[in-house]
Amino acid sequence: MAAQLERGQGLASTIARVILGVIFFAHGWQKFVTFGMDGVAANFDKMGVPLPTLSAWFAGIVELVGGAALIIGFAVPIVAVLGIIDMLGAIIFVHWDAGFFASNGGYELPLALIAGLIAVGIASHGPLAADTHLLNRRSKAVAK
């Protein structure tokens, strides 16, 4: 029974991690490819985001590279922390004044993404995660 529960939790964690990764990757791709970093920085400047060029690059890299890392399950806790910082910035500087609901431009989506990042950041990353394989390889090497 415990093994089934562990497999189920690993599968659930993998699904959540991949979904979050796709969402972040898509938003990072949008920043780099669709809008361009100059466009993102200009938009951040209009919204009053501090250090708009640096903030745009931080958000773009965290979302694109972090999203890819979540998909493959690499450095998940670190990516989760960086993604939370990114989403807190989005809430504070972009979405807060619009209220809660995403349909009005509010902070609902970034808040949900933070919840997901907390969950996958502390959970088992699942059997298909790169971190799982790296940790297993390291623990076998230490045991020898």
> Per-residue pLDDT averaged across 77-93, rounded?
97
Q: Which residue range is the domain that position 137 belongs to?
A: 1-143
Domain count, the chain: 1
pTM: 0.88
User: Which carries the bigger pLDDT value, residue 13 or residue 39?
Assistant: 39
- Is the confidence at residue 98, as pLDDT, over 90? yes
Q: Would you list the DSSP string of the chain?
A: -HHHHHHHHHHHHHHHHHHHHHHHHHHHHIIIIII-HHHHHHHHHHTT-SSHHHHHHHHHHHHHHHHHHHHHT-SHHHHHHHHHHHHHHHIIIIIGGG-S-GGGT-SHHHHHHHHHHHHHHHS---TT-HHHHHHHHHHHHHH-
pLDDT in tens, 44-59: 999 999 999 999 999 9
> What rounded mean pLDDT belongs to the chain?
91
pLDDT in the model for residue 132: 73
